[in-house]
Amino acid sequence: MTTILSKSILYIVFLLLGFFQSINAQIINKKDVVNHWKLNKYSINSKNYSPPKKDAGDYLLFTNDMSFTTVFEGVKEFGEWNLNPKKGIIYLHENKDDKNPLKLYIQKLTSNSLIIRLDIFMLRKIDFHYTAKKND
Higher pLDDT, 66 or 6: 66
Looking at CATH, the fold of the domain delimited by 29-132 is given as: Lipocalin (2.40.128)
Q: Which residue pairs, CB below 8 angstroms and at least 24 apart, start in 64-72?
A: 64/30, 64/34, 68/92
Nearest to 107 by CA among 25, 11, 30, 49: 25
Secondary structure (3-state) at 93: strand
Share of the chain above pLDDT 90, in %: 66
Residue 132 has pLDDT above 70, yes or no: yes
Pairing of strands 89-93, 67-72: unpaired
Q: How far is CA 102 from CA 9, 11, 24, 92, 114, in A?
A: 43, 39, 25, 5, 17
7-29 pLDDT tens trace: 555 555 544 444 444 434 568 99
**pTM, whole model, 2 decimals?**
0.78
Residues 133, 37: Cα–Cα separation, whole Å: 6
68-121 pLDDT tens trace: 999 998 899 999 999 999 999 999 999 888 899 999 999 999 999 999 999 999
Residues 83, 66: Cα–Cα separation, whole Å: 9
